[in-house]
């Protein structure tokens, strides 16, 4: 019975390790995509520049997009 409990604990530990590794890889890929999208001329760089230039209008647009998305659901 004790061996079965130890085997289960080892299996859970491996599963947690695999999930942690997969999550770390996903975060690395996402971070790379964000860094790439922030380069000059890319979408996030353009959005950041627009937000700095007109913060109130950007806020209104974001609010309206949020309302539109919320109404669909």
Number of domains into which the chain is organized: 1
Question: What are 7-12's contacts with CB under 8 Å, separation 24+?
Answer: none
| pLDDT tens, position by position, 6-59 | 767 777 788 888 999 999 999 999 999 989 888 998 888 888 888 788 878 878
Band of pLDDT at residue 67, cut at 50, 70 and 90 = very high
Q: How many whole angstroms separate alpha carbon 61 and alpha carbon 71?
A: 15
With tokens 């299996």, the residue in question is: 11
CB-based contacts of 70: which residues, under 8 Å, 6+ apart?
A: none
Query: Can you give the pTM of this predicted structure?
Result: 0.51
Residue 64, domain extent = 2-72
Contact 22, 29 (CB under 8 A): no
């Amino acid at each position: 019975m004790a061996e079965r409990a130890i085997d289960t604990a080892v299996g859970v530990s491996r599963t947690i390790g695999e999930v942690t590794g997969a999550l770390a890889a996903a975060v690395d890929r996402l971070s790379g995509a964000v860094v790439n999208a922030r380069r000059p001329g890319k979408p996030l760089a353009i959005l950041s520049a627009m937000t700095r230039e007109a913060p109130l209008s950007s806020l209104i647009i974001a609010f309206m997009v949020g309302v539109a998305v919320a109404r669909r659901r």
